[in-house]
Amino acid sequence: MSSHHFVKEQQEPALVILDTTGIHFDQIAPLLEWVPTVLVSQEEAYTVISWGIKIDLILADLEFQKSNFHLLEEQYPVKFLGVKEGQFLEESLQYLIATKHSAANIIGFDHRNLYKLESMLEFLDLVVWDGNIRYFPVKTGQFRKWFTSCTIQLYALENTLIEIRNTAGSRIIPIKHATMVNVPEGISEFHSKGIFWIGEIFNIET
């Protein structure tokens, strides 16, 4: 039996894989280090299995469950989590809350819909991967971090104002879609009146 299935205590962020388009295994591998609970949408089940990742729950509608019942034996102790009307993300988050998880990494969620996750941030700490960009929320409206010289993406509702302070000075950014910001090496501070998300770009060699 894989060590992946020793008893879990929900202390590590769960891994929810919705879509692997534009995602490389090298991005996911570090997230598996501490043996998280892994939930995968039915469309990505075989891709994730081919990566050698042990799945705990496959988010699946009734038709998929009937057609792929053999997975319950072949990938034991995987289970199906029933999903209706394509509500894969909603069902996975409700499951994680019900099982007292405190955090999750979500793979393959469109960053343009990040605002739809904000009602869940009271219950779960969420990090989202969309392609090669990793998004994390700033729930308090204030954040500081050391960056290498790089480009980041800021995401919030359109026209949200975010102030950035660093060695390049202080400026206020009005958020539009795909608001890309260059930050110098060193500490950058961010201030806003509401929730916003910071996207960090990861270049993965293929």
- Per-residue pLDDT of 71-109, as tens digits, reads 999 999 999 999 999 999 999 999 999 999 999 999 999
Helices (H), the chain: 25-28, 45-50, 62-67, 71-74, 88-98
- The span from the CA of 70 to the CA of 88, in Å, is 21
Q: Is residue 3 part of a domain?
A: no
Q: What is the mean pLDDT of the chain?
A: 92
Which residue has tokens 């991005």?
27
1 within some domain: no
Quote the pTM value: 0.90
Does residue 2 fall inside a structural domain?
no
DSSP for 99-136, written as a single string: TT--EEEEES--GGGGGGGGGGTTT-EEEEEETTEEEE
CA 165 to centroid of chain Cα atoms = 27
Give yes or no: residues 62 and 155 share one domain: no
Say whether 98 sits in a helix, a strand or coil: helix
Same domain, 31 and 48: yes
Identify the three-state secondary structure at position 168. coil
Q: Which amino acid is at 137?
A: P
Domain with 14, as residue range(s), is 10-131
Residues 182, 85 within the same domain: no
- CB count, 10 Å around CB of 182? 9
- Identify the pLDDT of residue 2: 39
Residue 4 lies in a domain: no
Residue 5: inside a domain: no
| Residue-wise pLDDT tens digits, 168-185 | 999 999 999 879 999 999
Task: Residue 100: give its domain's CATH number.
Answer: 3.40.50
Number of structural domains, the chain?
2
Q: Is residue 105 within 8 Å of 63, Cβ to Cβ?
A: no
Identify whether residues 30 and 72 lie together within a single domain.
Answer: yes
In the predicted structure, residue 9 carries a pLDDT above the cut 90: no
